[in-house]
Structures are given as structure tokens and as C-alpha cells.
Amino acid sequence: MREQLTTFNVGNDLFGIEVMKIQEVTGELTVIPVPLAPNFVRGLINLRGQIATAMGLRELFGQPAMTSAKPMSVVCKIDGNLVSLAVDAIGDVVEVERANFESAPDTVPAEIRRFIRGIYKMNGQLLSVLDLETLAKELSPTENKQ
């Protein structure tokens, strides 16, 4: 069984999301910050009349904010919400073999591990597949603070 993934870089690592789950990939968008929101919420974006929540993967993974060039955005619809993920750079669309899949080793820091569905072993590189459902849960906490 094969799977097609859109890849991108966050820090030194390569990540992937199923191609079909991605709505679009765009350059930098104007982000309106949301005061009081946790730091991985970069703010809100006007995406052609729809409002998307901008999430910073670096912030989510507890990595230092990116200092270099403009971030790219990967827009997907998770759980009915439009979410734009800020990533360092966009990679290729790759086709991977299900056979090369395994779950992330326990030594990966827990704050990153919980967002990773598993690892594809590719030639010369490891590709972490993002788990959009945990991301969705992060945006819709079941325990409402109210």
C-alpha cells in the first residue's frame, strides 16, 4: 500500500501530511494575533473570506521561533476548522510504502511525539507523519475552561 505525502521542514526535521488532507500551500499570510491565546496560535488569517487559525508548528513543538526567512503555510481543514500551519519550508510530494512505516520511538520528546502518527523510513531521511486529529484536539479542548 502506498501513500502520498506533502512534506515540509520544521527545524531540522522533515514532516508529512497526507496529500488529500491539504487544501493549499501558500506563502506568508497576514496574521492577526489573538491576545491571550496560547503561543502556538499565531493568530487568525483571512483566507479568501474564510477565517483560518494560524498555528506555529515550531511553537507547538516547543522549538525556538524561526528567525530566518518568511514561513510558508500549509492549509488544511481539520475537524471542520480551517487551520494554517506555519512551517519553515515546503518540500516535495513523496510517495511512500506502507511497509516502511513504524511508530515513533519512545525517546522522541513527548510534546512532539503526541502529534506524530508514525515515521516513514525513506532513503537517507526519516519522515514524521503529522497526526491531524491530535492537532484538532489541541484546537478543541474537550475540557471547556468555562
Partner 1 sequence: MSFSDQDIAEFKAEARELLDTAEKGLLSLDQGGDFKSAFDSIFRGFHNLKGAAGMMELPKLQAHTHELESLLMKLKTEGAMPAPYISLFLRGVDAARSLLEGQDIAFVYSVGEDDPASAPAPAITHVIVAEAVPAPTRVTASAPAAPASPAIPQAVNDEFVAECGEIVERVAKNLQLLEKGNASKDNVDALYRDVHSLKGSAYLFSYTKLGDLGHGMESSLERVRAGTHKPSAALFDQLYKCLALIEQIVKNIAANIQTADLDEQVPLLAARLLKAAEALESVQETPVTSTAPSTTTAAQANESGEGAASIRVPVSLLDNLMTLMGEMVLVRNQVLQYANRSDDLELLSMSKRLNVVTGEIQGEMMKTRMQPIGNVLTKFNRVVRDLSQELRKNITLNIIGAETELDKSLLEAIKDPLTHIVRNSCDHGIETPEVRREKGKRDVGTISVRSYHEGGQVVVEVSDDGKGLHKEMLLNKAVERGLITPAQAASLGEKEIYNLIFAPGFSTAAAVTNVSGRGVGMDVVRTNIERIGGTVDLTSRPGAGTTIKLKIPLTLAIVPALIVRCGLGKFAVPQVKLEELVRVDQSSADNHIEILHGTPVYRLRGNILPLVDLNRVLKGNGGDSQPDPAKYKDAIVNIAVLNAEQFSFGLIIDEIQDSADIVVKPLTRLMKSLQVYSGATILGDGSVALILDVLGISKVANLKAEKIREVTGDQKAKENIRLLADAQDFLLVKVNATARHALAMAYVNRLEEFKSSEVEYSGNQRLVRYRDSILPLISANQQLGLPDTTVDRATIPVVVIEKAGVLYGIEVDGIVDTLSTQHETRVAFKKQNGIFGNINTADELIVVMDPFEMIETAFPNMARAKFKESNASGKRVLLVEDTAFFRRNIKKVLEERGYEVVTAGDGEEALSLMGPQHPLFDIIVSDIEMPKVNGFQLAASVRSNPHLAGIPMLAVSSRADKGYLEQGARAGFNLYLEKLKPDILLEAVERLLMRNAA
Residue 136 grid coordinates: 484538532
Q: How near is the Cβ of 79 to partner 1 at its closest, in Å?
A: 9
Q: C-alpha dihedral over 67, 36, 17, 58, to 10 degrees? A: 30
Q: How near is the Cβ of 130 to partner 1 at its closest, in Å?
A: 17
Residue 90 grid coordinates: 515546503
Rounded-to-integer distance, Cα 29 and Cα 26, Å: 8
Say how far residue 26 (Cα) sits from the centre of its chain: 14
Q: Does 32 bind partner 1 (CB under 8 A)?
A: yes
Q: Does 146 bind partner 1 (CB under 8 A)?
A: yes
Please select the residue that binds partner 1; options are 36, 67, 69, 124, rule is CB under 8 A.
36
Cβ proximity to partner 1, 37 vs 126, nearer residue: 37
Cβ proximity to partner 1, 44 vs 76, nearer residue: 44
Q: Does 87 bind partner 1 (CB under 8 A)?
A: no
Say how far residue 99 (Cα) sits from the centre of its chain: 23
